[in-house]
Amino acid sequence: MWLRKLSAWSPKEIWRFDVDEMNLPVRREQVRARIALYPTMLGSQVMLAPLLVWLMWDKVGHDTLLGWLMLVLGIHLAEFVRWLRARGLTDNMQDCRDWNVRFIVNTSFVAIIWGAGWVAMFVPGDLGYQALLICVAMGMAAGAVTINPIHRPSLFLYLILFLSPLIVRVAMEGDRPHLILAFMLLTYVTFLLNAGIKLMLTFETSLRQRFEKESLLHELRAREEEIAIALDTAEQANRAKSKFLATASHDLRQPLQALRLFTEALQDVAKEPESQRLAGQIGKSVNALVDMFDDLLDVSRLDAGIIQPRWQHFELFDLFDRLYVDFEPLAKAKGLTLQLPYCNEKGMNGSPCDVIVYSDPFLLERMMRNLVSNAIRYTDKGQVEVTCRCLPEEVEIAVQDTGIGIRPEVLPHIFEEYYQVDNPHRDRRKGLGLGLAIVRRVEELLGYRVEVESVPEQGSIFKFSLKEGDASVLARPYVITQSRQDVSNKVIALVEDDADIREFTVEIMQEWGCRVFAGESGAAVLRQLDKAALRPDLLVCDFRLPDNQTALDVMREMRDYWGELPVLIVTGDTGSEALQAIQQSGASLLHKPIAPSRLRSMMFLAMQGASKSK
């Protein structure tokens, strides 16, 4: 907008130098630039005036020359004094307006005095001196345009008042050469004015662009600061959320652990059908609660960065078999058909899919479980189908259902935490809304890209591709070890501050044939072991203990006493700092609540790992 104004200057605008709030930064810079040039402009004219008098000394009356010289020096001296007094006053609008008046007044007086000088020093009949005088005047005019294309009114006043008397005086000679010379001078003035307009336009445009860029930069920095503040606030909120979840998870998992242990014991001892039914219902409720905690735990562990892929070459059939065993009863209970994949190229004869892929088998299983679970949850009739398609060097897996589908406006949000399609009342039978959030985190960790296609009321397809594996280095990650691993005759150091959990865990371990030394602190267990003169085969320790101690403190204490010792840390924490500290310690990690069979497996694996490392 401002540039359009500059390019369309009217004669009235040429003489104006308005100062307002909008253009104050530019006007202030113009005033300061003009003030900075004062010494150069005054000095050049003060030096030229005596030289010009000396040059014309023999042609013009001495009184005229000296009188003119005194006027020039006087006006420049007064101008210099005003400059010294007011040169620092340029900050506000009134200062700039005052300088505008000073520029106009000073320039007018100076130009009039110099213009009168041309007339006084004009030598009739001596074309040589006339030409010399014209050359000096033209040079000073050109210098004024190039040095001072800053203040519009000053420049135009100076050129007109400075050269007009000389042009008129030349024309008054009346002959053809002088008339032509006067016309040439007028043309010269016109070109100077045009050059001055272009220089002023360039100068003002550069100032405008500079301040516009500075304004944009300031806005950008302000926006960056706002974003940084918002990001910091979000990070603080996320840390507070993680801390809350970690604390709440730990506090809730303690009684949940005891509840799970007691529930399994109740199911083992229940004899009457009604008691067995009630025990089974309690077990289902506890398992649902455990599943919710597991989802929260998975999100925390993935966000903490403590889960790293363990890449293996393995057959998809083993994974599909596990999915079928776990999800077929759920699908059947809803009247759905669950179809598992046969490779589209290799399985046409009905034989199982023998495709080998390269991935982390357990992270891939977690993705598939969440996708299949979601598909069954949101499908009321029809089927859920998992398909496998062989591509060049890749295998595409898809989970397709005939469920409620996903509306287009909802689709971008389905991978967000706690977001659920068509569950505004937060029906807990539909989970917490973390399943697809976990899928998104796992896919990013494995480098996959889950694509979603959905038609409302017809169903959805979730598909992604993974690398084809190498049969020569085939692993069997899903081969299930016998659930009753032999841990008999092992000496177990158990540190657990919850008396109920500690008592029940001791009973279970003793049923497995373990010799257990248990206490609420590491020091208490150390005393028992020292008294029995036994070295433990395994330390099983709760992470958070009384007196601000943790399992890491107990682990260091016992390893200082016995050297290398396998350690299994049991925790309900989901905080990233705690999980990272446990991972870095080299201890095995088991999250509450724990099924006895899972505890036994982890104890066996922890001791087996220690024996292999030796």
165-183 pLDDT, tens digit each: 888 888 888 788 888 888 8
How far, in Å, CA of 22 to CA of 92, rounded? Answer: 12
- d(CA 442, CA 418) in angstroms, rounded, equals 16
pLDDT of residue 495: 94
pLDDT classification of 343: cutoffs 50, 70, 90: very low
Domain end among 473, 504, 530:
473
**Mean pLDDT across 513-529:** 92
Confidence at residue 392, expressed as pLDDT on a 0 to 100 scale: 85
pLDDT digits (tens, 9 = 90+) for 532-557: 999 999 999 998 888 889 999 999 99
Alpha helix stretches (DSSP H) within 305-393: 316-333, 361-377
254 or 441, which is more confident?
441
Confidence of residue 428 (pLDDT cuts 50, 70, 90): very low
Domain around 451? 312-473
| Whole-number pLDDT of residue 347 | 36
Could you tell me if 331 and 466 lie in one domain?
Answer: yes
Average pLDDT estimate for 243-259: 61
CB distance 207 to 157 below 8 Å? no
Determine the average pLDDT of the residues in 204-233.
79
Establish if 606 belongs to a structural domain: yes
More reliable by pLDDT, 188 or 574: 188
pLDDT at 275: 72
Within-domain flag for 553: yes
Residue 156 covered by a domain: no
Average pLDDT, the chain: 77
In this model, does residue 516 exceed pLDDT 90?
Answer: yes
Q: How confident is the model at residue 6 (pLDDT cuts 50, 70, 90)?
A: very low
Distance CA 408, CA 402 (A): 17
Highest mean pLDDT pick, 266-275, 549-558, 566-575? 549-558
Residue type, 268: D
Same domain? For 462 and 512 the reply is no
Instruction: Please say whether the beta carbons of 170 and 119 come within 8 A.
Output: no
Q: Which residues of 286-297 are buried (b: 16+ CB within 10 A; e: fewer)?
A: beebbeebebbb
How does residue 517 score in pLDDT terms, banded at 50, 70 and 90? Answer: very high
Q: What is the pLDDT of residues 583-608, one digit of tens each?
A: 788 888 887 767 777 788 888 888 87
Within a domain: 352: yes
Q: Is residue 350 a part of any domain in this protein?
A: yes
**6: amino acid identity, one letter:** L
Stronger pLDDT, 25 or 564, i.e. the higher one: 564
pLDDT at residue 237, rounded to an integer: 75
How far apart are the C-alpha atoms of 112 and 376, rounded to whole Å?
97
Phi and psi torsions of 133, nearest 5°: -65, -40
Contact 507, 461 (CB under 8 A): no
Domain end (from 417, 445, 473):
473
Counting the structural domains of the chain, the total is 2
In a domain, 439, yes or no: yes
Starting at the edge strand found earlier in the chain, the sheet holding 588-591 runs 515-519, 491-495, 538-542, 567-571, 588-591
> For position 441, which CATH number holds?
3.30.565.10
User: Is residue 441 domain-shared with residue 495, that is, in the same domain?
Assistant: no
Return all residues near 85 (Cβ < 8 A) that are at least 6 apart.
none
Has residue 476 got a pLDDT over 90?
no
Q: Which residue has the higher pLDDT, 350 or 285?
A: 285
Q: Which two tokens stand for residue 82?
A: 């005003």
- Copy the structure tokens of residue 51: 């030289």
Shared-domain flag, residues 439 and 554: no
**Residue 456, in any domain of the structure:** yes
- Note whether 339 and 380 are same-domain residues: yes
In the chain, what is the greatest distance between 2 CA atoms, to the nearest angstrom? 142
